[in-house]
Amino acid sequence: ETGVTQSPTHLIKTRGQQVTLRCSSQSGHNTVSWYQQALGQGPQFIFQYYREEENGRGNFPPRFSGLQFPNYSSELNVNALELDDSALYLCASSRDPTNEKLFFGSGTQLSVL
């Protein structure tokens, strides 16, 4: 059983650019959630995807968008990057949207200069 994998592990962008982060969910999982973890903070929920549809969203602006593919892997896209977008982005997968058990990846560390 493969775990949740995220790529890349680190990324440096400049303000105003766009970025795409990728996540492969654990085998057998159809739900993917994305979280943003700023330095010194706990993770904050961005959104969740279930069967290729957005299935819930936290308090993040529309420039944060996502996709889920038929194999349940997922992308997080952020447009018009701002300095405050610098954070660790965590992906988590689960067997269904109730998120009874979430399995996290090791995250992508994004730095916006």
Interaction site with other proteins (CB under 8 A): 33, 35, 40-45, 48, 50, 55-58, 88, 90, 92, 96-99, 101-102, 104-107, 109
Minimum CB distance to other proteins, residue 34 (Å):
10
Find out whether 53 and 67 touch, Cβ atoms under 8 Å: no
Nearer to other proteins, 19 or 32 (CB): 32
DSSP line for 54-98: EEEE-S--TTEEEEE-TTS-EEEEE-S--GGG-EEEEEEEESSTT
Minimum CB distance to other proteins, residue 96 (Å):
8
Nearer to other proteins, 71 or 100 (CB): 100
Find out whether 65 and 14 touch, Cβ atoms under 8 Å: no
Of 91, 92, 89, 66, whose CA–CA distance to 77 is shortest?
66
Minimum CB distance to other proteins, residue 18 (Å):
24
Nearer to other proteins, 16 or 102 (CB): 102
